[in-house]
Structure 1
Amino acid sequence: MGMQGRVAGRRLGVTAVALLVLGALLGCVGGLGGYFFMPTKFVPGGHMRPTLATESSVTFNLLTIKVNRGDVVLFDAAAWGEQHQSVERVVAVGGDHISYTPGDRTLTLNGQPLDEPYVLNGDPVAGSPAFDVRVPRGRLFVLGDNRGNSADSRFRFEFSQSGTVPLSDVNGTMVDEGDPLLVGLRSGALVGVAVLCAGALLGAVSLRLRRRAAATAVHPAYAGLVPPPGT
């Protein structure tokens, strides 16, 4: 009984340690990746409708390496003389030529009409003044999807170069809630918590078994004084 208790307790203890280590790894990787580096932020206002509902919560990938046209980005609005973070869509990157002539039905990007199926009411020029911008290298021309209600690059010429924002001020890009990486990381964090709990439970059982085995064990010096079972 005593030896069996010690062996069972030892095996459970080893399993418990393995589960605790695995749970900690899953929790750390999933938690840091899925929540710290891909946080969910509150976006006030309705300038990104219909893509983002008014005052909605959005997840951003803060480890973004490259920003492309069409990306919805979270950036520091300091270039526009404001002390907060803003969310807009990138419509032109460094080297692009973006323009609008009153009367046109679309913006023009590098000499071609820009197709923007994401804008509110299918109107990409709503409330837009005329502009003609060659985007400087390392900067972005950003607009809201609700063009009739967005204080974006079109109205920031007096604050920064052609109303653009520096690429270095971008903090992250929007991530869809169904993104496989996001789902995987956050699921991993939850699994990690469950594994940690299982490891802690097995550890407690292991400790109990080993203590019980130690309490019932017979010291070798007294082995001959203990009558055998059934006598």
Structure 2
Amino acid sequence: MLGPLGLVMLIGSFMYARGAYTTAIVRSESMTPTYTVGERLVFERVDGAEVRRGDVVLYSSPERYGPGLSVIQRVVGVGGDRVVCCEGTGADERITVNGKPLDESYVQEGIADGMHRPYDVKVPEGRLFLLGDHRLNSRDSRAFSSDHGGTVPVGAVQGRVTDERAVPAALVVIMLLGVPVALAGLGFGIAAFVVRRRSRAVPPMPPWAVQV
């Protein structure tokens, strides 16, 4: 039983982790100071329709960034939202969503815009408006205003960043435990096979008494 149990633990947890999570390494400074270049992030695979404002997502947009490349940005507006830049000036400058200024404590140096190009976008249903946290160094929705106001379809989302590492870590532990359990089962199986072979090699005792 140990062998099959170990294989179930190893293969089952691997397949679940592969289907439920993915990872990516930060390649640019567009999300600093929240995430730094070289940092590996864990993303839970979710339907793009499930993401909310403030979520950081991994998505692909080949027509904008090239094939095979994924981008990490923050969701600022979802379908039906009106995203406007900007209200206030200087350190008080704020992006507004549906008329309410955003409190973006995560942006680099407190700069909410950085491009000095006002925009007023009504996010279509089924699409997302995304920005990097480093507004002075991010090629995000602002750079593609002629294409649906810079928004991307929810279907482009590949995952949502999660700081909850307990579940992925538990899956790794189960996978690691599965290896010795499977090996132990294999070892016991081989030992049992050898014992059976040896027991068959011993001649049976005669049914009568033997005198010397």
**Coarse TM-score class (shorter-chain normalised):** 0.7 to 0.9
What is the correspondence of 1:1-231 to structure 2 with a 5 Å cutoff?
18-35=1-18, 37-64=20-47, 66-78=50-62, 80=64, 82-83=66-67, 84-101=69-86, 103=89, 105-158=93-146, 160-176=147-163, 178-216=164-202, 218-219=203-204, 223-224=206-207, 227=210
TM-score w.r.t. length of structure 1: 0.80
More helix by share: 1
> Structure 1 stretches of 5 or more lacking a match?
1-17
TM-score w.r.t. length of structure 2: 0.86
Structure number with higher relative contact order (C-alpha < 8 Å, ≥ 6 residues apart): 1
The structure number with the bigger radius of gyration is 1
> Structure 2 stretches of 5 or more lacking a match?
none
SS of equivalent to 1:171:
strand
RMSD (CA atoms): 2.3
Mean CA deviation greater in 163-172 or 67-76: 67-76
Letter of the 2:150 counterpart: G
Percentage of identical aligned residues? 34
Deviation (angstroms), 1:164? 0.3
Deviation (angstroms), 1:186? 2.1
Deviation (angstroms), 1:137? 0.2
Deviation (angstroms), 1:81? 6.2
SS of equivalent to 1:22:
helix
Distance 1:224 1:94, change over 3 A: same
Structure 1 ranges of 4+ moved more than 4 A:
225-228
Q: Please give the per-residue CA displacement for 1:166-193, whole angstroms capped at 9, x wherever unaligned.
A: 00111111122x4222222222222222
Q: Please give the per-residue CA displacement for 1:148-174, whole angstroms capped at 9, x wherever unaligned.
A: 10000011112x200000001111111
Deviation (angstroms), 1:227? 4.6
